[in-house]
Amino acid sequence: MQTSSPSNHHHANIITKQPSPCKHHHQATITMQTSSPSNHHHANIITKQPSPCKHHHQATITMQTSSPSNHHHANIITKQPSPCKHHHQATITMQTSSPSNHHHANIITKQPSPCKHHHQATITMQTSSPSNHHHANIITKQPSPCKHHHQATITMQTSSPSNHHHANIITKQPSPCKHHHQATITMQTSSPSNHHHANIITKQPSPCKHHHQATITMQTSSPSSENTTMVGETRLRDHENYNDQNDQDNQEYTRFSRSKMRSMNPALRGMAQLILRA
């Protein structure tokens, strides 16, 4: 991530690549661009996960944020079409509007699957700030009776008693199945005054040779309330832990599962904070 602010301008570019030599896995590229010619903010995030493997799907995430004054409008659309009968489709939509200093956010995620080996998931986020306060709670559960799949729980809590912002996002994907991996996403945002500090850590350890490890870390700090500069760090590590686990179930049901979340904490002075399972 690169950020430059000649005055109040902000320009950021984040590129993340997850190449995988495994024929059953795909490559992922995340690109974030943020520009603010005055106090305006424009952000575009595009993520593509093309996969030539018939057992995997494609995913595209697009986020756009614009704030002509202090207003904030955000749209996140995620599509995961899959021609494979063992995979599902997912659509994530986030809309955030603040006509004054108020903030209202709704996130609805649906993962319908006609396949008996897959589950359905619904994520709903609502954020309301009657004054300058912010309170947000997101709880997502993805229970699956199938022994080949895992459970996922996403929890986000945001509170701002004055102008302060505190956010915690914890995502756990425990899986008893030896063919699946675990994922943990943690986001913490604190602003004791108008300051903003964000930390995003994502871990996907997998003992299975057909899965990889990924770690993404983003840090944003703004020590002052005006003329702030967004400083970000993105780290991605891809590892392959190989072993001899390979049987008929793996051949039939192997798929890459990831829980992604993108969140934005708009500040009173037009700062946009952006947050990607996966």
pLDDT tens digits, residue range 214-271? 333 333 333 332 222 222 222 222 222 222 333 333 333 223 223 333 333 333 333 3
Distance between CA atoms of residues 45 and 30, nearest Å? 7
pLDDT tens digits, residue range 158-188? 333 333 333 333 333 333 333 333 333 333 3
One-letter identity of residue 231: V
One-letter identity of residue 86: H
251 Cβ contact list (under 8 Å, min separation 6): none
Residue 163's pLDDT is 32
Distance between CA atoms of residues 271 and 110, nearest Å? 29
CB 31 within 8 A of CB 13: yes
Domain residue ranges of the chain, discontinuous segments joined by +: 2-253
pLDDT tens digits, residue range 11-46? 333 333 333 333 333 333 333 333 333 333 333 333
CB 233 within 8 A of CB 217: yes
Element (DSSP H or E) covering residue 134: none
CA–chain centroid gap for 155, Å, is: 13
